Amino acid sequence: MSLRIEHRIGKLAMQLALFEEEVEGESFPFALAEKSGYQFCKGKVGSMDAHKVVAAIETAAKKEQIIDGSFYRETHALYHAIIEAMQGVTRGQVQLGTVLRTVGLNFAIIRGKPYDNEREGEWIAVALYGTIGAPVRGLEHETLGLGINHI
């Protein structure tokens, strides 16, 4: 089982989440994702409710046909990747509003085959980058999270 260096799905997901199209224009991460044959999408979400963050990412994945919602294994894999990424954002405790915290996040979802051996199958990565803090503008700090799961 050898991970193709140029096809690291998690690294590419983070690059897409960090990438600001309005500032940097279309460039490297998009071209690399397309060249690698990956399906991907980007989006933004802000909320004091973790379930709204999960719902926004899941909705984007279905709308952009990254996953097929009629297959449990695809939704399940996405869910675990989202929760793993949220644990990074929230430092292990996936709580927001209940502890008076809010997030404003860019997200990227990537699906593909990052291994040399095709039999390793497809994987999905969710990257989150943005801010977390008290629900008062200016009292937040940067945060990021990454989740990767097999489909």
pLDDT per position as a tens digit, 11-38? 999 999 998 766 555 666 677 777 778 9
Contacts of 113 (CB under 8 A, 6+ apart): 7, 37, 120, 121, 122, 123
Q: Which domain holds residue 113?
A: 5-150
Q: What is the pLDDT of residues 39-70, one digit of tens each?
A: 999 999 999 898 999 999 999 999 999 999 99
Alpha-helical regions (H) of 43-144 = 50-63, 72-89
Per-chain mean pLDDT for the chain? 89
CATH of the domain at 83: 3.40.1510.10
Segment 80-86 shows an average pLDDT of 96
CA distance 140 to 133: 4
CA distance 102 to 54: 14
pLDDT at res. 81: 98
Query: Are 123 and 38 in contact, with CB atoms under 8 Å apart?
Result: no
Number of domains in the chain: 1
Residue 128 pLDDT level (bands cut at 50, 70, 90): very high
